[in-house]
A and B are shown apart, each in its own frame.
Chain A
Amino acid sequence: MSLSKRVGAWLEKRYIGCFLAPALCIMGAFALYITVALIYLSLCSWNTTSPAPSFIGISNYLNILKDTVFWKSLGRTMIFVVCTVTGEIVLGFIVAYALNRKIRGLGVIRTLVIVPMAVTPVVAAMFWKIMYDPSLGPINYFLSLLGIRGPEWLGSTSTALISVLIVNIWEWMPFSFLTITAGLNALPKDAYEAAMIDGATKFQTLFKLTIPMLKQVLLTLILLRTIDAMKAFDLVFTMTRGGPGESTQLLPYYIYLKGFQWFDLGYAAALSLVLLLICNYGFKFFINKTGVKVFYD
């Protein structure tokens, strides 16, 4: 047997390992390095006053506990995530439900609804910055035609977070719409016939039949969209830089500020590890608690 054939036979016997190795090596190497480096750096002081990392134990973590800006950013992030995920899915559901019938031009309408999803997030942020501009933007112009004095949108601490939220919902509502539409199409027709014979109202059918049957789809959506919302950075960076004040400073942006504006890399590493743990255990908890069937059976 030639050498190449023998190598081939050897590999063939270990096919599962061969299939998994490239991906797992890449991901494993990254994961290992990132975890070790984060733990090490988070135990160090490494900032403008100490230019090389020097071991200081857990004092970064103690400082996080006392850091009111951190707690406020965390709270704001939670509000942002809950609001945007709820908004996206509720709006997406309404649109999917309204369009789940035979009306003229359905295909075109569906395609038009999903357009925002295709806009590069940074580009969407810049576009909406024009929309929101209090003096040059169209929103306040049209409001003024109606005799309403529009708010400052991104310029005021009371409306900035809502304005960013609206953009995020605008961008991702189409994804919920697409997913829920697919879910609605897959529902068994006979259950509805039975409900009709029983004389159930539309309202009853919706809440007693449709929504329970869509449970898996909705849970999957909630998980995916929450994962994504926890990452929110592009919109904040491009539209508000966390401002005005700290009103739109979400946790990822706070980490960026600490690490790359104030060059407090040790502290930023500790913050990163805290965010990593929140996400990891939060999502694990969600998956185990709800029994959402994702990926692994």
Chain B
Amino acid sequence: MTNMKKTLGNILIYFMVAIILIFALFPLWWIANISFKTSEEALVIPPKLIYEPTLKNYKEVLFGVEREDNEGRWVPSTKGFMKQVGNSLVVSLTATFVAMLAGIPAAYALSKFKFKKKQNISFFVLSTRFVPPIVIVIPLFVAFRKLGLMDTKLGLIILYVFANLSLVIWMMKGFFDEMPNELAESARVDGCGQFGALFKIAVPVTLHGIAASAILVMINCWNEFLFAVLFTAKNAKTVTLAVMGYVTVREVAWSNMAAAGILITIPVLIFTIISQKQLVQGLTAGAVKG
């Protein structure tokens, strides 16, 4: 009797898990299929479940589409996907580096030392995370136009450093809290100053946390859309705008869009899976251990 109950319970759980997995993965499976279909087959209803997969969409996204111009010559026309990937890489890596460089010492100080106004400073850092990005867009729009930062990578980097700095401090403080205080103190006894204790002891000890924070900031920058759409026009466009580029007034190039979307997602997917445990611990600032 109890055995049957247990089997029944297990079946129920597997059934539930199956439904959840379908909900989570079906859209991605469907789009992945579209990305391997020709644009004629892509959205046919009833859908072709068996088809000859093609890499044409990926080639077109990566290397541009060849098409006839007005005089009948074939010209390669690139939608600039590679350039946008390059922009995103430059902006994400630089912003992450600067945010880590400024954020790690601040997190260390907030975690390990007692000083006046510490609570106020902590709360200020935390409260900048409350702010929806749309709120800062109008003042920054005014400033960027005055300073000539519109449509520049530098402008985006500045925005992304500010947008992610409190996240870095928040995550890294959690990781430094985990580190035993004696470690840093023993380094000081050995003649390292406070700077030495931070860079020679604390940083190496929390390397996994630093990696997780850096990965998360990079993902944030890579995925960012609001600033990218409002503050870039041509030169500094990033990958999130590349996907939107396949939507024109005349038509939506669904199969190209699907291929571009998959290409953009793959690096994020790999990093998320690698660092899932540290991400939880970091994002909840140590409230939950991964």
Contacts and interface: CB of A to CB of B under 8 A. Distances in A.
B276 interface: yes
B75 interface: no
A70 to B, nearest CB: 14
Interface in A91-133: 91, 94-95, 98-99, 101, 103, 109, 111-124, 126-128, 130-131, 133
B113 A275 contact: no
B81 interface: no
Interface string A130-145: 1101011010010000
A238 interface: yes
B244 A122 contact: yes
B288 A186 contact: yes
Nearest to B137: A259
Interface centre among B135, B143, B290 (most CB of A within 10 A): B135
A296 B140 contact: no
B284 A220 contact: yes
A178 B198 CA distance: 31
Interface string B144-187: 00000000000000000110011001100100000000000000
Interface stretch (A23-31, A56-64, A188-196, A203-211): A23-31
A186 B197 CA distance: 31
A256 B134 contact: yes
Interface in A273-296: 273, 275-276, 279-280, 283-284, 293-296
A265 interface: yes
Contacts of A216: 287
Interface in B210-262: 222-223, 225-226, 229-230, 239-240, 243-244, 247, 254, 257-258, 261
Given A138-B47, A179-B288, A280-B127, A275 B132 contact: yes
Contacts of A233: 132-134, 225-226
B142 A217 contact: no
A126 B272 contact: no
A193 B45 CA distance: 55
Contact of A15 (B34, B122, B194, B230): B194
Contacts of A112: 21, 24-25
Nearest to B163: A30
A234 interface: yes
A296 B123 contact: yes
B134 A238 contact: no
B131 interface: yes
Given A118-B269, A120-B264, A127-B31, A231 B289 contact: no
B76 interface: no
Contacts of A242: none
B8 interface: no
A200 interface: no
Contacts of B193: 12, 15
Given A24-B121, A111-B273, A117-B272, A224 B106 contact: no
A238 B225 CA distance: 10
B94 to A, nearest CB: 14
Given A119-B28, A275-B132, A103 B13 contact: yes
Contacts of A20: 105-106, 109-110, 121
A34 B140 contact: yes
B28 A127 contact: yes
Contact of A37 (B139, B161, B226, B271): B139
Given A122-B243, A131-B27, A252 B132 contact: yes
Given A103-B10, A115-B24, A182 B138 contact: no
A147 interface: no
A133 B34 CA distance: 14
Nearest to A99: B17
Contacts of A280: 127, 130-131
B265 interface: yes
Interface in A214-236: 216-217, 220-221, 224, 227, 230-231, 233-234
Contacts of A79: none
B250 to A, nearest CB: 17
B136 interface: yes
A19 B222 contact: no
A113 B13 contact: no
A231 B17 contact: no
B139 A295 contact: no
B240 A122 contact: yes
B11 to A, nearest CB: 11
Given A19-B108, A33-B139, A259-B141, 11 more contacts: A12-B193, A33-B143, A41-B142, A109-B17, A111-B273, A111-B276, A120-B223, A234-B225, A255-B135, A283-B127, A295-B170
Interface of A: 11-12, 15-16, 18-20, 22-24, 26-27, 30-31, 33-34, 37-38, 41, 91, 94-95, 98-99, 101, 103, 109, 111-124, 126-128, 130-131, 133, 135-136, 138, 141, 170, 173-175, 178-179, 182-183, 186, 216-217, 220-221, 224, 227, 230-231, 233-234, 237-238, 252, 255-256, 259-260, 265, 268-269, 272-273, 275-276, 279-280, 283-284, 293-296
7 contacts: A22-B105, A33-B143, A126-B243, A127-B261, A173-B24, A179-B284, A233-B134
List the 7 closest A-B pairs by CB distance, nearest first.
A37-B139, A296-B122, A23-B106, A15-B194, A19-B105, A19-B109, A118-B272
